[in-house]
């Protein structure tokens, strides 16, 4: 783990500036991989986004479709049992059920989502199936599971022994107090870490044909009420993509994001001329203004990419990071600016 932490830190220090410059990325594209119409880039929330970006890049660097790339990227933490807030190995709700929320969207406003889905590892792929094979946008609970099984997804128990143990530990106090930045405690983005809790992945990509897409997937807040749905599967809250403007995704306390239509807000702010970073900052400040006493004690972070491939993020609390991958550097990890902390 030390090696990995060191690797990520080095990657972040060496690459932050270049990863934010669309021109630098495009100029450095190796022969045969040069974008046809502009910058090709993928960005993901948190430090485990580096691995997700690599999976997405395997598609993008061959001229593949951004929608395929974000799905492939999101599937990486879904399958990682060390990640306790996405997919397999996710911490359960207070009744011991692992329930997943996910969404996916392309630049033409095609979108799909699943909420409170149980027993299926790759919620993001079910979300894509909702988008492509139903007349609907969002399926929930048993209906989502039934649809997934009809589509050929395999049923499996998502509660790993480690997550089960953590749940039984939690039952001793049954105190619901989501922890700020639990996501990074083990992956070393410069804050204290522990290996037991990671978070939602939001992933945004721009492909060689200039097509934007995004996806978001999570097991939600650990120890939530059974049936609770967060922002991640809600189009406009946890994810929004508009091919004319850009894309945005969020992580952190979903309730605060939903009440502000967070990702839609970020995209609309970019439409008005703000850079991705400025738009994310303004949205974070809006979240804080709406419910200052709640919001200041929690974490909400936004990540955005505009249609030119520029990337920015902003958070309430220090400790949020985002991974950026392009032809110039596939492993950049950038600490986001925040309202609180340094």
Task: Return residues touching ligand SD4 (CB under 6 A).
Answer: 101, 199-200, 218, 220-221, 230-232, 251-254
DSSP secondary-structure letter at 113? E
Per 3-state DSSP, the chain is made up of helix, strand and coil in percentages (nearest 5) of 35, 20, 45
**Minimum gap (Å) between residue 150 Cβ and ligand SD4:** 26
Is the Cα dihedral 76, 13, 283, 111 positive or negative?
negative
Q: For 143-175, give one letter per residue: b (16+ CB within 10 A) or e.
A: ebbebbeebebeeeebbbeebeebbeebeeeee
With vertex at residue 259, the alpha carbon angle to CA 253 and CA 262, rounded to the nearest 5 degrees, is 75
Find the length of the chain.
Answer: 342
Least Cα distance to 45 among 165, 215, 257, 281 occurs for 215
Count of CB atoms situated within 10 Å of the CB of 62: 11
Known catalytic residue at 160: no
CA 9, CA 56: separation in Å to the nearest integer?
A: 21
DSSP secondary-structure letter at 182? G
Of the residues 43, 45, 200, 218, only one is catalytic, namely 200
- Whichever of 132 and 179 has its CB closer to ligand SD4, that residue is 179
- Whichever of 77 and 230 has its CB closer to ligand SD4, that residue is 230
3-class secondary structure, 13: helix
User: Which sequence positions are flagged as catalytic?
Assistant: 200
């Amino acid at each position: 783990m030390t090696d990995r932490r060191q690797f990520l830190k080095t990657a972040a220090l060496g690459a932050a500036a270049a990863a934010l410059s669309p021109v630098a990325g495009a100029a450095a594209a190796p022969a045969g991989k040069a974008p046809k119409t502009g910058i090709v880039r993928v960005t993901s929330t948190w430090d485990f986004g580096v691995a997700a970006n690599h999976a997405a890049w395997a598609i993008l660097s061959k001229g593949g479709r951004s929608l395929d790339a974000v799905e492939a990227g999101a599937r990486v933490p879904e399958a990682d049992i060390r990640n306790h807030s996405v997919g397999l190995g996710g911490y359960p709700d207070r009744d011991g059920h692992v329930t997943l929320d996910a969404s996916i969207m392309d630049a033409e406003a095609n979108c799909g989502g699943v909420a409170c889905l149980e027993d299926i590892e790759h919620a993001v792929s079910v979300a894509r199936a909702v988008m492509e094979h139903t007349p609907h946008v969002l399926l929930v609970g048993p209906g989502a599971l039934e649809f997934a099984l009809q589509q050929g997804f395999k049923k499996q128990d998502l509660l790993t022994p480690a997550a089960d143990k953590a749940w039984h530990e939690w039952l001793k106090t049954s105190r619901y107090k989501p922890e700020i930045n639990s996501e990074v405690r083990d992956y070393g983005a410069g804050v204290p870490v522990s290996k037991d809790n990671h978070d939602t992945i939001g992933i945004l990509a721009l492909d060689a044909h200039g097509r934007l897409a995004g996806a978001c997937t999570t097991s939600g807040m650990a120890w939530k009420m059974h049936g609770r749905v967060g922002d991640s599967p809600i189009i406009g809250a946890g994810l929004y993509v508009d091919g004319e403007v850009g894309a945005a995704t969020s992580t952190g306390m979903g309730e605060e994001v939903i009440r502000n239509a967070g990702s839609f807000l970020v995209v609309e702010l970019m439409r008005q001329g703000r850079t991705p970073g400025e738009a994310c900052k303004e949205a974070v400040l809006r979240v804080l203004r709406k419910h200052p006493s709640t919001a200041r004690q929690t974490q909400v972070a936004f990540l955005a990419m505009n249609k030119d491939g520029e990337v920015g993020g902003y958070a309430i609390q220090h400790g949020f990071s985002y991974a950026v991958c392009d032809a110039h550097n596939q492993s950049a990890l950038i600490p986001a600016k925040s309202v609180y902390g340094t």
